[in-house]
């Protein structure tokens, strides 16, 4: 019995000695492994940051460009914006179907050889252009007044006919017309009629005003008439205002 107790004590003491020898080994292994684990973690974090920077650089680059062309450490520039084309204002002068004219007129009427009279008056006309085009029709009335000797004298022309116009630069409209109708001259002369066939041919220019519906007109015409059994050719000039509608 005493011998058995001694054997057990010897075995117990040996076990304690073996355990004491194992503890430093475990501690040393843990101490040796700890720096290795820390270094691996630092390396992994650096690799992750590097991959993130490369990913950001590749996304920020303009599509189609090579990211390797950028210098080391340089931040990629933002893609250039395409400039939108400038809108050039276009000045369009509207055209109208109707034109109404009112102006001053001067007529130098050659009644017959040796009898010439200057007349001042008004000129009124209305023109309509088919489908706002070049061709149209016009009706006009001219009334001018003066004197012959000691008597008052008047002249009138009423007619209608075709009219054509052309658009010129700087808002100018050129036009021409030919009107046919009746002429009148007074005072009355015995055995002769005051009225007779007459016509008017000529043209002019309309200069567009600040407001597109208004224009300034200048024109020059020749009035032919058959009064007093003879033929008259009387020049006429006029200037006034045109209203378009």
Do 17 and 105 share a domain, yes or no? no
Do 9 and 107 share a domain, yes or no? no
pLDDT at 223: 97
Q: Kindly report the pTM of this predicted structure.
A: 0.60
pLDDT at 193: 85
Compute the distance between CA of residue 146 and CA of residue 222 in angstroms, rounded to an integer.
19
Domain boundary pick from 33, 60, 87: 60
Whether the Cβ atoms of residue 90 and residue 73 lie closer than 8 Å to each other? no
pLDDT at 56: 44
Q: Which domain holds residue 20?
A: 2-60
pLDDT at 134: 92
Residue 188 lies in a domain: yes
Do 112 and 8 share a domain, yes or no? no
Residue 69 lies in a domain: no
CATH of the domain at 168: 2.40.160.20
Do 22 and 123 share a domain, yes or no? no
The number of domains in the chain is 2
Do 150 and 36 share a domain, yes or no? no
Whether the Cβ atoms of residue 175 and residue 165 lie closer than 8 Å to each other? yes
Do 203 and 140 share a domain, yes or no? yes
Do 142 and 226 share a domain, yes or no? yes
Q: What is the DSSP string of 197-221?
A: EEEEEEEEEEEE-SSTTEEEEEEEE
Do 129 and 41 share a domain, yes or no? no
Query: How many other CB atoms are found less than 10 A from the CB of residue 138?
Result: 20
Residue 42 lies in a domain: yes
Do 121 and 46 share a domain, yes or no? no
Do 164 and 213 share a domain, yes or no? yes
Q: Residue 227: name the closest of 167, 155, 136 by CA.
A: 155
Domain boundary pick from 40, 60, 80: 60
Whether the Cβ atoms of residue 202 and residue 218 lie closer than 8 Å to each other? no
pLDDT at 210: 84
- Strands (E) in 57-149, as ranges, are 98-112, 115-129, 135-148
- Strands (E) in the chain, as ranges, are 98-112, 115-129, 135-148, 151-168, 172-186, 195-208, 214-225, 232-244
Residue 224 lies in a domain: yes
Compute the distance between CA of residue 58 and CA of residue 62 in angstroms, rounded to an integer.
9
pLDDT at 43: 52
| Contacts with 157 (C-beta within 8 Å, 6 or more apart), sequence order | 140, 141, 142, 179, 181, 182, 183, 184, 198, 200, 223, 225
Do 167 and 240 share a domain, yes or no? yes
Residue 70 lies in a domain: no
pLDDT at 110: 86
Q: What is the pLDDT along the chain (245 residues), one digit of tens a residue?
A: 444 444 445 544 444 444 444 444 434 444 444 444 444 545 554 554 555 545 444 444 444 444 444 455 555 555 556 555 555 444 444 578 999 999 999 999 887 777 788 999 999 999 999 988 899 999 999 999 988 777 788 999 999 999 999 999 988 999 999 999 999 988 877 778 889 999 999 999 999 988 889 999 999 999 999 988 888 999 999 999 999 99
Residue 172 lies in a domain: yes
């Amino acid at each position: 019995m005493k011998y058995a107790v001694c054997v057990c004590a010897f075995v117990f003491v040996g076990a304690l000695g073996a355990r004491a020898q194992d503890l430093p080994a475990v501690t040393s292994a843990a101490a040796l492994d700890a720096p290795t684990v820390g270094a691996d973690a630092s390396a992994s974090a650096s690799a992750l940051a590097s991959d993130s920077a490369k990913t950001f650089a590749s996304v920020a680059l303009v599509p189609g460009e090579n990211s390797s062309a950028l210098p080391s450490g340089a931040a990629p520039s933002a893609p250039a914006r395409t400039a939108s084309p400038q809108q050039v204002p276009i000045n369009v002068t509207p055209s109208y179907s109707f034109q109404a004219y009112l102006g001053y007129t001067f007529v130098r009427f050659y009644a017959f050889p040796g009898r010439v009279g200057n007349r001042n008056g008004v000129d009124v006309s209305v023109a309509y252009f088919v489908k706002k085009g070049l061709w149209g029709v016009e009706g006009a009335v001219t009334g001018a007044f003066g004197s012959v000797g000691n008597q008052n004298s008047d002249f009138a022309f009423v007619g209608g006919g075709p009219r054509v116009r052309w658009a010129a630069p700087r808002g100018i409209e050129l036009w021409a017309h030919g009107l046919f109708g009746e002429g009148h001259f007074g005072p009355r002369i015995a055995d002769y009629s005051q009225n007779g066939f007459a016509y008017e041919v000529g043209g002019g220019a309309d200069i567009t005003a600040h407001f597109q519906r208004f224009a300034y007109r200048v024109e020059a015409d020749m009035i032919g008439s058959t009064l007093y059994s003879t033929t008259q050719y009387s020049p006429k000039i006029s200037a006034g205002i045109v209203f378009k509608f």
